[in-house]
Each structure stands twice: as C-alpha cells, then as structure tokens.
Structure 1
Amino acid sequence: MSTPIQSLTPRISVAPMMDWTTKDYRFFARLFNPNIIMYTEMVTTGAILFGGANRHLDYNNEEHPIVLQLGGSNPKDLATCTKMAQDWGYDEVNLNVGCPSDRVQNNKIGACLMAEPDLVAECMAEMRNAVDIPITVKHRIGIDDMQSYEEMLHFVDTIAKTGCDNFIVHARIALLQGLSPKENRDVPPLRYEDVYRLKQDRPHLLIELNGGVKTFAETQEHLKHVDGVMIGREAYHNPYLLAELGQLWNLDMPNRFEVMDQMMPYIAKRMEQGAPLSIITRHILGLFQNLPGARKWRQSLSGGNAKTFADVENAIVNIKDAMQRTEDYIQNKQAES
C-alpha cells in the first residue's frame, strides 16, 4: 500500500521525461524507494481523447504514488482528461507549462503558456472543478522576454487564485526562439534563488524545485529552502540515487542485485505480453552507475545477439548471467583496492 501523495513530506519526484519515464522505467524506479512520486511522460489531451486512452493512461499498480502530466490549453479538454485520470486511479494530475519544444508550442502547449497566465488559470480552474484529486502545475521561471522574478510571481499568483497551491518550478528560463529543447535544459543558467524567493514570498504555497539536481547532498540543501525537489535525468542515468534519497525517510537502501531479482518477474511478464526485451532493458542500463562494474553491466545487456534474448527463458538466463558477471567484477575490483 503506497503512502497517500498528499501526506508525503518532503515531496521528492522523478520528472516527466518523454520516451524515458515510461511505465517500464517507473516500475523499475519504484523498486528503489516507495516514497518517490512518479510522473508519466507528458501526454497531450488530443492523444488521450483521440489516440486511445488505454494506450496513454495504463500503468502498473506498483507505480503509486503516480502523477499524470497533461499537455494542453483547452480548458474543457483538460477537464475531461483530468476526470479520466481520476477514474483511472491516478493520485494527481499536473499541467505542463514548461516544455519548450517547437511541436508543443505550435499546439499551444508547454512553456509558451507562461505568457498567458489567465488562460492557464482558466485551465486549472476547470481541472480542479472536475475532480477531487490534487491538480498541480509545472512551469519555468520565465520565457523569452519575460525573465524577471516579478513576472513569474504574477504568473504564480494568477494561478493560485484558482485554489491551486502546488507549483513545481524549473529554475531556468526557456528561450523558445533560438534554442532547442535540449539546449533549454542546459544553456540558460540555473536561478535557484528565484525559486527560494518564491517560497519565502508565498510561504502558504507548496513549492518544488526542478533543474540540475544530481545528488542526495544537493537535494538536502534545496530542501532547506523549498518543500520538494524534482529530479530529472540523473534519476534515469543513475537510478540508485532514488535509493540514496530514501535516507530522507530513514529507509534502508536496497541492494542493486535484490532490485534486479524483483525486476525479473516483471521482465518475463512484459515479454510474454509481446514487449521486446530491449525496450525494457534500456531503462536499467544505469543500475551500476558510478561503480566499477557499470560498463560491464551495460556491455552484458547490450552485447548479446538477437537469439540470446529472443524468448523469455533465454532472456532471464542471460540477464542473470550478466548480473553474476557484474557482481564478480565488482568484487574483484574491491579486492584489488
């Protein structure tokens, strides 16, 4: 039984990341820590309403607490999808006002909506009125020529009037003209002080910080100033960080090999459902990141020919063999040192 999302303190989450935070990754990530909040990839309202709800909304029950992140700007469509999310069992719904890609801009989705706080407020009000579960918003500290703290504060205050009290703030501006989505994750400088100041100025709001967080120590430092921390790519490339974050709740850190033992039945089930092994194993390549066996593990999973991983039985045997070779390598390296 997962902890109710409203009672989680502090709020530590894995950011929604397109093509990365799939249900396979989320199942794997959950094995490290029961209190981390999982986000889906951003799903547009159009994809849900016209592209098959099952395909976009289904998840594993083990993923709770789980948040559906929606992309859209039509209040009625957002309300409809939010109600569907509640009926599907999601713990929370989040509105994306941070994605800077051209594709979402052209559909009036993501960071470009920061320029229209009244529209975002209308969307949030419709979403909140449709359900009983929490509705949150994830946004940037600014966009293009709207880069001042005061403009961000106006955006937050406008949304807060709807009753929304939870804001996840990516501590970078987004330059929608001239930078790619990847560059918008790295080039604009991090302005953590703006997020800290927002919490100081609006202490009644729940403020979470996102952007550039890579370690447990950094997370601890941010939590001195804000209510929560959202971690992005580091949680994917180095998933054991999620186990280290368990120290925030005095949780025991699981052994990496024990995590894989728990992952095996899931891999077998997904393969029996017809999922290619590669779409699952790509999410677990970082299991031994920062350990001497990391490269050995990645090579073992990606080095086999198609036949060695063609069926469930062979796949499990070969993954177990990869685990054993990685464990032996780590032990030998530790003995040498």
Structure 2
Amino acid sequence: MTAQILDGRAQSAAILDRVTTQVAAFVAAHGRVPVLATVLVGDDPASHTYVRMKANRCAKVGMQSRRLDLDASISTETLVEKIRELSADPEVDGILLQHPVPDHIDERAAFEAIAPAKDVDGVTRTSFAMMAFDEGGFHSATPGGIMALLDAYDIPLAGRHAVVVGRSPILGKPVGMLLLARNATVTYCHSRTTDLADHVARADVVVAAVGRPALIRGEWIKPGAVVVDAGYADNSGDVEYEPAAERASYITPVPGGVGPMTIAVLIDQTMKAAQARETARAARLGLTAATTGPE
C-alpha cells in the first residue's frame, strides 16, 4: 500500500480562489478592502517568514495586510495595549498575533486582548469555547485547516478512532474537539504518554501535532490509517514519513500539507469577519440585507 497524498497546496488554492471572488464582491458592495492586522514580536526568522507568507496571500486575494513589528523586549502590558488598539480600530477586520512570542511575555494575556469578533486565528478562550460547543465563531486556524483538508478528500470520521498526539491550546486540543464534533472517538496523547506506540497503532486517524521530528515511527501506523502531520521542526514533521506512507491510506506531506491550509483558513476567516462586521453595522443602521453585500 502506498498512501494517497493529502495535497494542502491544491486545496488551499481552491479556498483562496473562492475568497478572491468574495473579496471583489465585498469591495464592490462596501467600498473598502478587508484588513488583516499581523503582530510580530522579535526577530525570529521563521516567524518573519510566516508573516510575510500571510501578507503575500492577503495580497493575492485582494485583502490588505497591516503589519505591526514590535521589539523583542516589549512588555506584556505594552503588547496587550497594542493589541487592544487593533481590536478597537474600525478599519481592522482580523488580528493575528504570530506565535511564539518571547519567553518573558504572557502569551495567553496577549491572545485574550484580541476581540473575539476579530480572532481570525482562533486563539482566544471565547473562540475555543464556541468551537467546542459547536456555536460558530472562528476555528483555530491549523485545526480548521486540517478539517477542511479531510473534508476535501471525503474522509469519513464518524465512528472512527482518532488519536491526537499533542495538547497545545491552539492545535492539539482544538483539533480533538473538532474531530469529536464529527462523531469520531478521540484519544489525546502527547510526548509523555506511556506506550505511545500502542495508542497510535490502534488509530484510524492520526493527527501529529508536537513539533518533534520523527516522534511517530512509521511502523506504528495501522494499515489503512489516515495520517495528518501538523508538526514542523528542522524542515521535517512529527511522523517518519516514508515508512508511514507505505502503511497509511492517506498522508500529508511536510511541507505542503497542513501548512498551506492554515494560511488559507486564516484568510477565509478574515473574510468572514469582515462580512460579519458589515452585517452587524447594517443591523445597527436598520439597513436591509440587500445593501450589505454577499455573505
């Protein structure tokens, strides 16, 4: 058996094509361009690359990206103040705080300064709660991208055993909740799980989200399982790719799998945030739906 590739590049391109059409209609209806504000703290080269890629994708679909670069020595209090200013800015539709921030900063406090209506990266407690209770809101971008990729290949989830390896609040935990909402049976594991190989070997769907190269050995993969590798470190994923691909039915490459989907979901959710803001504005002004543009 050789696994079929879950092609994140192709599927993200399809999402961005759709958003491009929506942006053009939005601009025609409202006379303004949707705006994503990105906040980058420090000089981490990888973070600079990621923010630049997101700005390029914004430009590709016709959105505006407003970038705020802050010194690595900034305090939590000042960072929170800067993010609250963006939350209050009527010209900004979505806010992204690039992860990770320097160690001395309280990242959770910074995330919580993002207004939920502009939390297009799905990092606040409000977004997590709404997602967990299936009450709308914005998905964490990488988990949302994973689900969109699985959907694009019509991979069934109901009744299947999904093992999530990783427990971060913006990746492992939320993707498990999204899988649970699709009626999968979910087991959470992590780098300190005892008998990790046994848990993985029983999984119909494996989501690797630790950031430790080759943590998951190829021989652990159950024949026919679906493997989604969301880890990335030293230019490789969490899963030992070649032997895993010989056993799995579907697998994501690294790079080219989950990463492009993350950016596509971020852009898509920024579009949704802009539409929601205009719908709310119209409701306040008593305008009809016909004047608010397409949803």
For the pair shown, the structure with the greater C-alpha radius of gyration is 1
Q: TM-score normalized by structure 2?
A: 0.30
Q: Greater share of helix residues, 1 or 2? A: 1
Give the TM-score taking structure 1 as reference length. 0.27
Higher relative contact order (CA 8 A, sep 6+): 2
